[in-house]
Amino acid sequence: MSDTNTGKSTPVREPDVTPSGRKKMISSAKGTITMTAMMIMIVTSILSLRGLPSEAKFGIQSIFYYLFAAIVFLLPFSLVCAELASTWTKQGGLYRWVSEAFGPRWGWTAMYLEWQTIIIWFPTVLMFGAAALAYMFWPESFDAKLASNKLYTLAIAMIMYWVATFNAFRGQKSANKLTSLGGLFGTIIPGAILIILGVVYACMGKTIHLDHQPFFPDFTNLGTIVLAASIFLFYAGMEMQAVHINDMKRPAKDFPRAVFLSVIVIVIVYALGTLVIGMVIPSKEINLLQSLLMAYDALWKSFGLEWLGNVMALFIMFGVIGQISALVTGPTTGLMAVAQSGYLPQGLQTVNKNGINERILYVAGGFVTILTLILLVLPTVESAYQIMSQMATIIYLIMVIMIYAAFLRLRRTQPGKTRGFRIPFGNVGKWVVCVVGIAGATAALLLSYLPPTQINTGSPVVYIGILLVGIAFFVGLPLFIYSRRKPSWRNPQAHFYPFDWEIEGRKPSEVSKWAPGYQPSDDEVENAESQSIANHGIK
């Protein structure tokens, strides 16, 4: 590693936030993570209050959607990521998994899409932060009008983002503390208060606004269930937590248990929080950005403590600030760890004296700024918020399907590879998990292209056109960058452990000749690494 004061490129660590911006927990010793600890890690990395209003529009049916998404997405994807992470334990995460199966072109694309998901998702956090700031004032009628104003939202979003970016140039240490405190005071405590207040509200016989509707939705009207597809993004981040499976003492037994228990906790908290919002706010009045804050106002007002609604807005705003601090720098670190293998110009790999890559943050800021300007072409702040959520969901699910495909390919090409964890029930279990997971992800992906009927999105042609053009651009961009890469882009100081197919001298699609449990010698690894460096990462 070079001296950071020189401004030269230096290897960077893997990302420490999930796609939803929450910090992941790190451990490195075998047996240091218990089943309970893993369950807590999964729960805290996935739970978020920001998206609850979008599901509150479904009332009781939201429970069905939470359960459905957990069964067809969270459970199968967790098991697939666990097997991949426990088998390919060297650095790289999903980049290594996909590259082992299909080569660096698609590994780079998968890693880039994860980064792009967070960049696209970022404007939704900024819009929510602007709404939270508006609800810190008095009275509520003023708050609602201010939060709905496009120019106010755009201005506050840009101020928050660029202040956080310039602050990140000073280093990540203070941002990490802010992120941790934001998670506690901006998510965990407000979430517990929301559910407790809701239970007390119901027990006191207050007015309940939940619509009387069937538990199962009407699948013939696709426009009404588009908002439910965003639940898949609620559950994002499992590919991050799965990398810690080898730190468990009994991963084969304890990880599935941790997943099942965490799914139960996550579904219960999401369902209860969503129902509380639906109880106090009529379905037709629910706003995707404001209704969480409106719910706190309504709950405290019912107990004669209306001013505490403004305090809750302060808490949630603090949580948003912590989330923004993590999101500004977190995604870049993972992208740079891979880019130094030859996927971005050297000029975009330099860091300042604090170890922060300013140029990449400027590039990310450009994306975020342009995406946030969609506010100006859509009819409402709410519709801009929704289209960013749907675009992020589509990009993320494309990456998810790539991981499923990599899993199936690697089961065929490397059957003898020692696996710390294997999906139960042999080939039957493998196919059930993959068929259910891929079908669920594909259905949610396709559904996300439709405008939701519950909110005003303006012209369907404009709405769908923005999605189609945006997705085509963002998926094509990493492939274009890969096709234009040059040998000079590879950082000679970045040492990346070779892929198995590099060590064996075969193509990713060819079947491994290694016997089960085989470990390559140091000479084999060194030879493969030397050859990879000689090729400058160009395959």
Which range among 78-82, 148-152, 173-177 shows the weakest confidence by mean pLDDT?
A: 173-177
pLDDT for the residue 454:
74
Tens of pLDDT, residue by residue over 110-143, are: 989 988 998 888 888 888 888 888 888 767 677 7
What is the per-residue pLDDT for 30? Answer: 56
Bigger pLDDT: 6 vs 325: 325
- What residue ranges do the domains of the chain occupy? 42-407+432-481
- pLDDT exceeds 80 at position 496: no
pLDDT in tens, 151-172: 999 999 999 889 888 888 877 6
Q: Are 9 and 350 in contact (CB under 8 A)?
A: yes
Residue 99 pLDDT greater than 90, yes or no: yes
Confidence of residue 17 (pLDDT cuts 50, 70, 90): very low
Count CB atoms within 10 A of the CB of residue 7. Answer: 13
Torsion of CA 266, 267, 268, 271, to 10 degrees: 120
Q: What is the pLDDT of residues 413-459, one digit of tens each?
A: 999 898 888 998 899 999 999 999 999 999 999 988 988 887 777 88
CA distance 12 to 349: 10
pLDDT of 7 strictly over 70: no
Peptide bond into 492 cis (omega under 30): no
Strand partners, 472: none
pLDDT at residue 412 tops 60:
yes
**Higher local confidence (pLDDT), 465 or 329:** 465
Mutual angle of helices 460-483 and 104-134, in 10-degree steps: 140
Q: How does the average pLDDT of the chain come out, rounded?
A: 82
CA distance 150 to 140: 18
Task: Please state which of the ranges 17-21, 151-155, 299-303, 519-523 shows the lowest mean pLDDT.
Answer: 17-21
Per-residue pLDDT at 174: 56
Which region among 98-112, 181-195, 332-346, 470-484 has the lowest average model confidence (pLDDT)?
Answer: 332-346
Amino acid 28: pLDDT? 43
Q: What is the pLDDT of residue 299?
A: 92
167 C-beta neighbours (distance < 10 Å), count: 16
Q: Give the pLDDT score at 9.
A: 36
Residue 103: per-residue pLDDT: 93
pLDDT band for position 178 (cuts 50, 70, 90): low
- Under a CB-based contact definition with an 8 Å cutoff, are residues 309 and 135 in contact? yes
Q: Which pLDDT value is given to residue 478?
A: 94
CATH of 42-407+432-481, one of 3.40.80.10, 1.10.3210.10, 1.20.1740.10, 3.40.30.10: 1.20.1740.10
CA within 13 Å, CB half, 524: 12
- In the predicted structure, residue 22 carries a pLDDT above the cut 60: no
At 2, the pLDDT band (50, 70, 90 cuts) reads: very low
**Top mean-pLDDT range of 22-26, 168-172, 336-340, 373-377:** 373-377
State residue 401's pLDDT score: 97
- The pLDDT score that the predictor gives to residue 196 is 93
CB 127 within 8 A of CB 161: no
Average pLDDT over residues 46-68: 85
Task: Give the confidence band of 31 by pLDDT, cuts at 50, 70, 90.
Answer: low
* Closest by Cα among 340, 319, 475 to 397: 475
Bridge partners, 17 (sequence order): 23
Other Cβ atoms within 10 Å of 313 Cβ, number: 23
pLDDT mean over 57-72 = 88
What residues have CB less than 8 Å from 514, skipping those under 6 apart? 414, 416, 417, 500, 504
Could you please report the per-residue DSSP string of 65-120?
HHHHHIIIIIHHHHHHHHHHHHH--STTTHHHHHHHHH-HHHHHHHHHHHHHHHHH
Highest mean predicted confidence (pLDDT) among 8-17, 234-243, 456-465 = 456-465
The pLDDT, as a whole number, for residue 90 is 81
C-beta of residue 391 within 8 angstroms of C-beta of residue 470: yes
Report whether 160 contacts 126 (CB < 8 A): yes
Place of tokens 């629910």: 286
